[in-house]
Amino acid sequence: MSSYAAHTDNTPPITTPGHLLANIPGLLRFYPTESVIFMAIDTTPRGSAMGPIARVDIADAQEALPDIAATLSDKACEGIFAFLVSHRPLEELEEISCWLYNLDRVRDGIDVDAAWYVREIACGEHYAMLHGTVNTDGSGPMKKWVEGAVPALTDAPTMRSCVDHNVVPELSREEFFSTFARGNTHFDALEAEALGRQARDCATRLRARVAAATGTKRKELIDSFLDDVRWTLGTVATVEEVAHDVDMLQACAVWMSTTWTRDLVVGVCTDAGEEAASLLLATARTFDGEIRANALTLFALAQLNRDWEIYAGPALQTVAEEFPSHRLGSLLCRAYRYGLHDKMRDTIRSGAHEAYITAVGKTGGAPATAVTPTTPVTSVVPSELARRAAG
């Protein structure tokens, strides 16, 4: 399994491999074990800094490389580092160590400029270089790049950012991604399935009513629907409270049950931020299929609009893994990996506006709260716009 953290200008300048290691849990939001971590080194106004990183299981590293090479090499203005995190002795890791050393940009898509081994990412843990360019005697300014100790993780800027948002990295990838796992103790699978069917029927009937309406009636129906969405979002408290509110969950399920309704509400949900994120996460945990995929996708967009990426990337990755045929989620996941966050925001807002205009008809006019597109829009669904964002 793989995990990604997108490029951010807020990562600190590079000082030693230990400081890079100390920032990894804050970037991934969990403590990696038995992993290969690739880190692109980017250029910023302050000097060299961390770009995107990718984590893969040691056993899956060679197979996963084609999926991550393009993302890493695109942002690696200065090079790519690798970290081998494992409690196994180096003698048992010779194959993966040699593989990292022999990676070739032409053949494999990337090459690794330097690599280090560390048993675990913890304060005081010793790290040692596996390969890389240093002074021949290991002295001088490069000495700490050959070996050293991981500094206090609490001092790492990425960890401080987590603490500022009341989030602490989980002990493992599995624990972190369990945030998005399906499971609502207040409803069993059969109850959730029945609610989902009712939601899809409701969304289908709404679309039929809108299609049958003429003149300004079509706009009135759409505006009333969106007003209900805003009112519902305004009453959301926490994920835990929403989890047992059947009316609120079913309302959100209606929004997420079809591409048509999803595209109408994507702008409202994105702008609602924390309230929308709470409702969408509870919905994703309760339902399966298209409702879950759409809820996780819009949850990620709501988090991204808050400039809070801790959950945005992993949520999109969950959609891409569980629902590989879900176009919007997969395309946004790809765009996220390339760091196209601003373009994602603009594209989705433009797509929401276009979906509204299409739904009400050419004579319907624009909603009072509509956002004027910042770029020309030629498609009527965000999925097409997401394709442009994904490049």
pLDDT of 375 over the 70 cut: no
Average pLDDT over residues 72-96: 85
Q: What is the pLDDT of residues 179-188, one digit of tens each?
A: 878 888 888 8
Average pLDDT over residues 377-391: 31
pLDDT of 377 over the 70 cut: no
How large a percentage of the chain has pLDDT more than 70?
A: 79
Cα–Cα distances in angstroms (integers) from residue 74 to residues 48, 65, 71, 129, 201, in the given order = 15, 14, 5, 25, 45
What pLDDT score was predicted for residue 45? Answer: 67
pLDDT of 376 over the 50 cut: no
Between the ranges 126-130, 173-177, 363-367, where is the mean pLDDT highest? Answer: 126-130
Burial class (CB in 10 A: 0-12, 13-18, 19+), 63: exposed
Q: What is the pLDDT of residues 252-304, one digit of tens each?
A: 999 999 999 999 999 999 988 889 999 999 999 999 999 999 999 999 999 88
Report H helices in the chain.
Answer: 17-28, 61-75, 94-102, 105-108, 143-146, 157-164, 173-177, 189-212, 216-234, 239-242, 246-256, 259-272, 274-286, 289-305, 312-322, 327-337, 341-360, 382-390
Structure confidence at residue 172 as a pLDDT band (50, 70, 90):
low
pLDDT of 109 over the 70 cut: yes
Torsion of CA 49, 51, 57, 62, to 10 degrees: -110
What pTM, to 2 d.p., does this model score? 0.67
Q: What is the DSSP string of 140-178?
A: GGGHHHHEEE---GGGSHHHHHHHHTT---BSSHHHHHG
pLDDT of 364 over the 50 cut: no
Arithmetic mean of pLDDT over the chain: 80
Burial class (CB in 10 A: 0-12, 13-18, 19+), 136: exposed
Burial class (CB in 10 A: 0-12, 13-18, 19+), 153: buried
Q: What is the pLDDT of residues 277-287, one digit of tens each?
A: 999 999 999 99
Average pLDDT over residues 47-62: 82
Structure confidence at residue 340 as a pLDDT band (50, 70, 90):
confident
Whether 48 contacts 112, CB under 8 Å? no
Domain boundaries, the chain: 2-178, 181-390
What pLDDT score was predicted for residue 387? Answer: 33
What pLDDT score was predicted for residue 372? Answer: 33
